[in-house]
Amino acid sequence: MESSPLISIGLPVSLFIIMIGIGMTLTLRDFRQVTVNPRGMVVGTIAQILLMPLVAFALAWLLGLAPALAVGLVIIAACPGGTTSNLFVLLARGNVALSILLTVSASLITILSLPFFTNWALQVYFGAQEDIVLPVGKTIAMLVGIVLFPVAIGMVIRTRTPATAQRAEGVVSVFGGIVLALLIVGLLYGIRDRLGELLAGAGPAAIGLNVAGIVVGLMVSRLTGLSQRESLAVAMELGIKNGTIALMVTLTLLESSEMSIPAAVYGVLMFVTGFVLVVVGRRLIPGAALSGVEPVQGKP
C-alpha cells in the first residue's frame, strides 16, 4: 500500500498543489495572530505529542490488544498530523494558519518523541528496546517541500494578485475533496485482500483512537478558551495523522508488517471522521468568518 503510485507520487504532487491553494487563503496577519496569541499552539502541541500516545496505551489495555498491534497503535498515536490535516481544516473552515504551525512544530518534535514512545511501548509489550532514529534531514526536507514552500508560493500569489487567489479558493476546495476521495479508494484497494482481517484486528482500536483524538482536541481547546476555528484546527491535528511516518517506522525500521496494521486501518478510517468534522465545521462557521478577524479566544 505504501509503495503504490497514488501514495508515493500522486499524493505528494496533489498535496503540493493543495498547499499552494491553502497559502492563497492566508496572510502574514493570520500567522501573527497565532504567534501573538500562542495558546492554540501550546494546547495543540501538548495534546498531540503527549496526550495521544497515553490515550493509545489506555486503549491497548482496555481492548487487550496483542503486543504487536498495541505497539503499532502507540506509534500511529505518536505521529504528528500531516498536510492532509491542513486540507481538512481548510474544508472545515478552521484556523488553517494554526493547523500548519501545529503540523510543523509537532513534526519536528516527533523526531525525539516518536522514538521515545516507540521504545517505551516495545519495553512494555515485548520487554525489548530498539534504537530508532528518524531521518532528520529527510523529515525537514519533507516539511519544507510539501508544507512551507508551497504555502509561501500561495501567500505571494495572494499578495500580488488577490483577485486570482480569491477565485482559486473554491477550485482548491473541490480539487482537495476529489484527491481525498481518490486516496480513500486507493487505500481500500491496496488492502482489499486483507480488509476484513485488518478491520477485525485493529479496527476498534483505530477508530477508538481516532474519535478520542477529535474529542480530546475539541474538549481541551474549548476548556482553555480557544475559538471554534482554533478548536477545529486542534481537533483535526489530533485526529488526522501522518500515517506515512507510522508505516516507515513499523515496516522499515522495525520490519514488522503486523505492527503496521493499526496505521493502515487508521489511514482509512480517519477520513470518515475527518469528513464528518468538515460537515460540522461548515455548518457552525459561516464562510464570511474566513475573511474577518479571528474571534476573541473563548468566544465562538
Beta strands in 219-299 (DSSP E): none
**pTM of the complete model:** 0.76
Query: What are the CA-CA distances from residue 268 to residues 185, 191, 199 (Å)?
Result: 9, 10, 10
- Look at the chain and count its residues: 300
pLDDT in tens, 174-217: 776 676 667 666 666 766 777 677 677 788 999 999 999 999 99
If DSSP codes are grouped into helix, strand and coil, which group holds residue 2?
coil
Burial class (CB in 10 A: 0-12, 13-18, 19+), 174: exposed
Break the chain down into helix, strand, coil percent, rounded to 5. 80, 0, 20
Q: What's the pLDDT score for residue 293? A: 45
Tell me which amino acid residue 93 is.
R
pLDDT in tens, 55-86: 999 999 999 888 889 999 999 999 888 777 88
Count how many Cα atoms sit within 13 Å of the Cα of residue 216 in the half-sphere of its side chain.
25
Q: Tell me the range of 27-31, 130-134, 153-157 where mean pLDDT is highest.
A: 153-157
Cell numbers standing for residue 57: 496505551
Q: What's the pLDDT score for residue 177? A: 62
Question: How is domain 5-284 classified at the CATH fold level?
Answer: Na+/H+ antiporter like fold (1.20.1530)
When the pLDDT of each residue in the chain is averaged and rounded to a whole number, the result is 79
Return the domain boundaries, the chain: 5-284
